[in-house]
Amino acid sequence: MHKIFLITALISFVILLNPNISFAENSPYSNLKGKLIMLDPGHGGDDSGAIRHGVKESLLNLAAAVNLKKYLELLGANVVMTRDTDKAVSLNARYDAIDKIKPDLFISLHHNDAADAFYQKPDFKNYTEVYFSSLYDGNAANIISGLGFYEVFQKLYKVGMVKLKPGYFKVIRNKKVPSILMEPFFMGEETLVKKAASPSYSRHESLVYLKAIANYFNKMETQDAALKKQLAGIQPIEKLTEETFDVFLSSSTNESFLKIAEELLKANKIKAVTNSDNFLDNKNISSHYISKLMIIKEHLESDLFPSYIEAIRSNSVAAKIHVSLSFSVSRPSAIYAYYKSDNGKKLSTAICERLKAAGVQTELKPDSFYILSSTSAVTVAVNINPEDINLDDKHNILGINMAVYSAVKKYLSK
Ligand SMILES: [Zn+2]
C-alpha cells in the first residue's frame, strides 16, 4: 500500500511539475522494472568540484542522484550509488565498482565548472553537455544511450542548447557498460546557480534524468533495431600508415581559413592534410570512426556533432602535429594542449606568441580534453572567439594563418 501511495504521489507530482512527462498506461517507464542502474554523483567530501555563489557542485550532483534513485526504485529499478553521502570517492574506486556491479547503465552526474571568466559573462549562452563513452567495441548501447539522453534533455531541460559528445573521462571508459556523463549546465550565472540549489529544481533535474533513462531502454528495446544493425556492421579500426603527414589541420567552422593554411604549408614543403574537403570521404581517416560518426550525424543537426574529434585523437592520419581550429562564440579565445605534453606546451606557447603579434589575445590552457589526448601526435586545439577579432577582414584571417603556420614551421625545423 505504502508503495502504491508513493507511486501515485510521484505521478501526481511529476504531472504537476512538467506536463511533458506522463505516466499514462503503456508508459515508457515500464521498461525500468528490474533494470540495474548505477548512479555516480561526481566529486564529494574535500573534492567539491566547482564552487560558485556559495554552491558546491558535489552537493548538486548528490541531490540529483538521491532523488533519481528514489524515482527509479519506485518504478521497479534497482539502483547502486558510488556515494550516497558527501564523502570523497576516488575515480579509480568508482571505475572499479562498475566492473564489479556490471549495471545495465552507468550515469555520472555533474554540473559544469564555469571557473573561466568567459562562462560568467552575462551574455554567455548556457548549454547542456551529454557525454557518451567513446570506447566503442561494436556495442550500440553507448551511442543509443547518448542519443536517448540527448533527445530528452533537448526537449525538457531548458538551460540552452544540448551538445552530444564522445567522452574519454575515466568513469565512462568501461567498454562493457553503456556509460553517460552529464553536465546539465555551467555554474556561472548567479540566479541559475542559486535556483539549482533548491529542492524543487533538483527534483526537476532528476525527473529529466528519469525520462532520459527510460528513453534509452525504450530505444534499446524497440525503436533502434535498424541503428543497432548498422553499428554492428562497422569494421574495427584500421591503422592507415601509407603516408605520414607533418600536419593535420582540422576545423569544423572555417573552411577559408583551412585553405589558406594548407597553401602556406604546402608552399614550404610541409606535408599537410585538412578536413576542408569531403572530410568524411577522406580515405586517410579511419573507416571505423567515419561509420560511427556518420550514423550519429544522421540523428543530429549537422553542426552539433564535431565529427573530426575522433579522427584527431586516434591520429588515424599518422601526423606529427594536429592543429585543430574552431571559431566558436560559445568559448573564449584560447589555445589548449594536453596537460602532460611538453611538446604541446612548446607548440601552443609559440602559437600564442605569434597570435598576439597578429592582434589576437589567447589564453594558454593546459587541459586533458579528449581531443588532445592523442598519444602519437602533438595536438593543439585553438579557438578564436569571433567577438575578439573581425573575421570578415581577410587580413585578420591571413594574420591568424601566418601565426599558426610560422609556429608550426619553427616547431618542425628544430
Ligand atoms: Zn564535475
Domain shared by 255 and 219, yes or no: no
Measure 257 CA to ligand 1 centroid, in angstroms.
34
181-190, 205-214, 285-294: segment of lowest average pLDDT: 285-294
Residue 223 DSSP class: I
Residue 184 lies in a domain: yes
| Last residue within a domain, chosen from 172, 196, 227 | 227
Cα gap 184→108, rounded to integer Å: 11
The reported pLDDT for the residue numbered 268 is: 79
Measure 152 CA to ligand 1 centroid, in angstroms.
21
Measure 240 CA to ligand 1 centroid, in angstroms.
36
Measure 130 CA to ligand 1 centroid, in angstroms.
13
Residue 86 lies in a domain: yes
Measure 112 CA to ligand 1 centroid, in angstroms.
6
Domain shared by 196 and 330, yes or no: no
pLDDT of 109 strictly over 70: yes
Domain span at residue 75?
Answer: 2-227
The reported pLDDT for the residue numbered 236 is: 42
User: Tell me: the pLDDT tens digits for 48-83?
Assistant: 999 999 999 999 999 999 999 999 999 999 999 999
Measure 111 CA to ligand 1 centroid, in angstroms.
6
Domain shared by 272 and 396, yes or no: yes
Measure 58 CA to ligand 1 centroid, in angstroms.
7
Q: Which residue has the higher pLDDT, 283 or 218?
A: 218
Measure 109 CA to ligand 1 centroid, in angstroms.
8
User: What is the pLDDT averaged over residues 122-150?
Assistant: 81
pLDDT of 287 strictly over 70: no
- The number of folded domains in the chain is 2
Residue 270 DSSP class: -
| Last residue within a domain, chosen from 194, 227, 260 | 227
Domain shared by 177 and 292, yes or no: no
CATH number of the structural domain spanning residue 146: 3.40.630.40
Domain shared by 172 and 268, yes or no: no
Measure 343 CA to ligand 1 centroid, in angstroms.
28
Domain shared by 101 and 197, yes or no: yes
Measure 294 CA to ligand 1 centroid, in angstroms.
29
Domain shared by 51 and 171, yes or no: yes
Residue 106 lies in a domain: yes
368-372, 375-379, 404-408: segment of lowest average pLDDT: 368-372
Measure 60 CA to ligand 1 centroid, in angstroms.
10
User: Tell me: the pLDDT tens digits for 313-355?
Assistant: 656 556 788 887 777 777 889 998 877 778 888 999 999 999 9
Percent of the chain clearing pLDDT 70 (strictly above): 71
319-326 vs 245-251, strand pairing mode:
parallel
Measure 254 CA to ligand 1 centroid, in angstroms.
31
Measure 12 CA to ligand 1 centroid, in angstroms.
32
Measure 381 CA to ligand 1 centroid, in angstroms.
22
Question: Interior CA angle at 110 toward 130 and 41, to 5°?
Answer: 120
Domain shared by 222 and 253, yes or no: no
Measure 332 CA to ligand 1 centroid, in angstroms.
20
Cα gap 380→250, rounded to integer Å: 11
Which pLDDT band, with edges at 50, 70 and 90, does 243 fall under?
very low
Domain shared by 269 and 304, yes or no: yes
Cell reading at 204: 526537476
**Cα separations (Å) of 406 from 177, 271, 321, 327, 374?**
45, 14, 13, 20, 23
pLDDT of 175 strictly over 60: yes
Residue 372 lies in a domain: yes
User: What is the pLDDT averaged over residues 389-395?
Assistant: 79
Residue 317 lies in a domain: yes
| Last residue within a domain, chosen from 176, 194, 227 | 227
Cell reading at 391: 573575421
Measure 43 CA to ligand 1 centroid, in angstroms.
6
Q: What is the pTM of this model?
A: 0.71
The reported pLDDT for the residue numbered 294 is: 57
Strand ranges of the sheet holding 272-274, from the earlier edge strand across to the other edge: 272-274, 245-251, 319-326, 378-383, 334-338, 363-367
Single-letter code of the amino acid located at 353 = E
